[in-house]
Structure 1
Amino acid sequence: MLLSFLPSALLITLAIHSGVSVAADEKDKVVEPCTIASSTGSFYDLRKLTIQPHKDGKKANKNDKVDDWHAKGYDYPANFTLNICAPVIGEIDRPIGVDKHLSQNVSAYYESKGEIYSIGQQSTNLTLRGRRLVLQYTNGSPCHADKRRSSDDDDEDEKKSKKDSIRRKSTLISFHCDKDPLATQPSLTFVGASPDECSYHFEVLSKNACIGSEPAKQGVGPAAVFAIIGVIAILVYFLGGVFYQRNVAHARGWRQLPNYSMWAGIGSFVKDVFIIATSSCARFMPHRQGYSTLPVSSSSRGRSNGRGPEDENRLIDQLDEEWDD
């Protein structure tokens, strides 16, 4: 009764534990930077579009970029430099209106009249709006910062009070799937800016923006689960059997093991098989013979011609005595 109850309780406990673990994994699921999964199962991974700095400007692979993404401004009086989900890797001076400790986190900027204007800080949070995949950078340089820089006569306290209320430049990047089989590199295009020069819109056409499959998370596989259940079941079998044999059957020594007679019979069977196998192999081992042929030279053969049968018998008896010694 006890042995039949323990495995069932064990399986129920494992099932409950597995359900709780799955629920906890779903609740605490960590989203990788620059990736996103939709509720319908679509998965996007833009990490390959991120330009990583390489040592001494050398490429890790021949197709890797070592500089930032660039886009022409066309009718806008400046060109743009961006990185995807990471700060730009090129060295830049301190952007206008950006704190010093935030200067290293600029992910998009443009240069005008010798000044650097940030149009957004680093972000790795992708957003799905319908079928549109977008990435937004915020907290750039103040809007119309080039016009406000000339107002040096303002009181310092007044500037500080206005610092938190001013509008800042931002960037919106829209990603589109490139289905052209001949395309080898993504393309980044400047779409336009808002009239107040506070918002900038870009589009990226890339194969990396196509729907992909989410990589499998490393965890305990079915084989490992069954192995764990098997090990625990064996432990329960032996521990429960010892408990029963000791307290109910009052067995002692090796007889406390469950089904001791069966295990003892298996041990005797293995022993008998081993003896039979070794005995069979012994037949094929070479045996030492009692007599060996002695080489007889021509001279001794001539001398033996004069001997009779008695001399030959004495010689054989002498050889047997020497062999026995």
Structure 2
Amino acid sequence: MHLQSPSRVVLLAILSLASIAVADDATKTTISSTPAITPCVATSTNGAFFDLRPDAAVVVQKDEKPPKGVPTEDYVAKGWDYGSNFTLNICNPVVKRVDDVVGVDKALWKNISAYYETKGKVHSLGLQSGTLVPRGRKLVLQYTGGSPCGASDKSRDKRAGVHEGARYKYNDFDDDGEDEGDYYAPRRTSKDDEDDKGGKKDKDRQKDEPVRRKSATISFLCDHDPDTPTAFSFVGTDPDECAYFFEVRSQHACAGAEPHKPGSVGPGSVFAIIFFITVLVYVVGGVFYQRTVAHARGWRQLPNYSLWSGIWSFVKDLFVILTSSCARIIPRRRGYHTLSGSPNGRRESRDDENRLIDQLDEEWDD
């Protein structure tokens, strides 16, 4: 068998490693160009990983078995002094069907993730969202696009309809025969007309303004106790009853290690890359040194040639020893030589020996 020269072997190894690196880069480029966004999952700037999908309640059909460890009912937060309780879900729409929602299109009822009922009316606090925002040790989830906010209790200051000095008193004369001291309605001035126009503009501006809608902001806190179930707490709302704030304690809100993503370089891949680079530098550097400094040729250009050749000889000897040991264990075919080992064969051979001895004794006596 004709062996290739070491220089050709090294060149082929370099080309193969280069092709693997190019293919790996192409794969990474293809994967990174289409990033996948997973809802209800977030990674903070310091590398902390959060996954709240186990806390999201899911809808289970009648014929299906509920998945183990996954909630199948909505979360309820007591409103206490607010006067109404709140029904919510995490990252998913509420499990319970909602109808007749105030100020929300019927097509969006199935996407409501938080609501409350008061006086027989359902008010939405926002539509489904799976975008988690890490802020320090907390996670924030926000639902928007709920029912319209209520009217503000604060009313706009209105100007007086009558200006100072607009009402006057006739004390000196009586033109129409009225009694002295009677008051008369003031005349309208240009300033009054401007005030009326300003009021109309304010009304038109209010009509053009977008409708403010209710929203829910949920803050998640880490709870290391695995026996404590996930629970919602109502914190409060703003004076306009537009923004509602909740707090949730859950073991899944604790930061953890991010799992390996398909297409990303894991610890094993990093170790393999470092190993191949080290071997490549060792082989190329050793061949260069042996060829230029030691003036070696042939296979002796490889670094530590005597060491590797001795290891190869040891491996061959070990293989021969193992194969010979296994050959003894393997049963062999029985041939004619086994007949002499049979009991009948042994008896016949002993009789022949005895006869030969007796014959020799007789000849010796003669």
TM-score normalised over the length of structure 1: 0.60
Residue equivalent to 1:186: 230
Judge which range, 42-51 or 89-98, deviates more: 89-98
How many residues get paired?
Answer: 232
Residue equivalent to 1:169: 214
Q: For the structure 1 residues 116 and 14, does the alpha-carbon distance in structure 2 shift closer, same or farther, using more than 3 Å as the test?
A: same
Point out where structure 2 has 5 or more consecutive residues left out of the alignment.
1-6, 154-202, 277-322, 345-366
2:146 aligned with 1:102: no
Residue equivalent to 1:123: 129
Q: Percent identity?
A: 43
Q: Show structure 1 runs of 4+ deviating over 3 A.
A: 1-4, 19-29, 61-65, 161-164, 218-223, 280-290
Residue equivalent to 1:83: 89
2:142 aligned with 1:142: no
Equivalent residues of 1:59, 1:66 under 8 A apart: no
How far apart, in 2, do the equivalents of 1:56 and 1:119 lie?
Answer: 28
Q: For the structure 1 residues 8 and 77, does the alpha-carbon distance in structure 2 shift closer, same or farther, using more than 3 Å as the test?
A: same
Local SS of the residue matching 1:56: coil
How far apart, in 2, do the equivalents of 1:20 and 1:62 lie?
Answer: 40
> How far has the Cα of 1:127 moved from its partner?
0.4
How far apart, in 1, do the equivalents of 2:208 and 2:58 lie?
Answer: 33
After superposition, the C-alpha distances for 1:156-181 in whole angstroms (9 at most, x for unaligned) are: xx99x959811111110000011346
**Over the residues paired in the alignment, what is the CA RMSD in angstroms?**
3.9
Q: 2:37 aligns with which of 31, 37, 41?
A: 31
Structure index of larger Rg: 2
Residue equivalent to 2:357: none
After superposition, the C-alpha distances for 1:199-249 in whole angstroms (9 at most, x for unaligned) are: 0000001111111222223469659x89xx9xxxxxxxxxxxxxxxxxxxx
Q: What amino acid sits opposite 1:184 in the alignment? A: T
Q: For the structure 1 residues 62 and 11, does the alpha-carbon distance in structure 2 shift closer, same or farther, using more than 3 Å as the test?
A: closer
Residue equivalent to 1:42: 48
Q: What amino acid sits opposite 1:179 in the alignment? A: H
Equivalent residues of 2:137, 2:221 under 8 A apart: no
How far apart, in 1, do the equivalents of 2:117 and 2:257 lie?
Answer: 39
TM-score normalised over the length of structure 2: 0.54
Matches within 5 A, 1:208-247: 208-218=252-262, 222=269
Residue equivalent to 2:73: 67
Residue equivalent to 1:132: 138
After superposition, the C-alpha distances for 1:51-99 in whole angstroms (9 at most, x for unaligned) are: 0111239762575433200011111121110000000010111311111
How far apart, in 1, do the equivalents of 2:123 and 2:53 lie?
Answer: 25
Judge which range, 117-126 or 23-32, deviates more: 23-32
> How far has the Cα of 1:131 moved from its partner?
2.8
After superposition, the C-alpha distances for 1:228-280 in whole angstroms (9 at most, x for unaligned) are: x9xxxxxxxxxxxxxxxxxxxxxxxxxxxxxxxxxxxxxxxxxxx99xx79x9
Equivalent residues of 1:97, 1:145 under 8 A apart: no
Q: What amino acid sits opposite 1:204 in the alignment? A: V
Equivalent residues of 1:190, 1:202 under 8 A apart: yes
How far apart, in 2, do the equivalents of 1:163 and 1:141 lie?
Answer: 18
Residue equivalent to 1:308: none
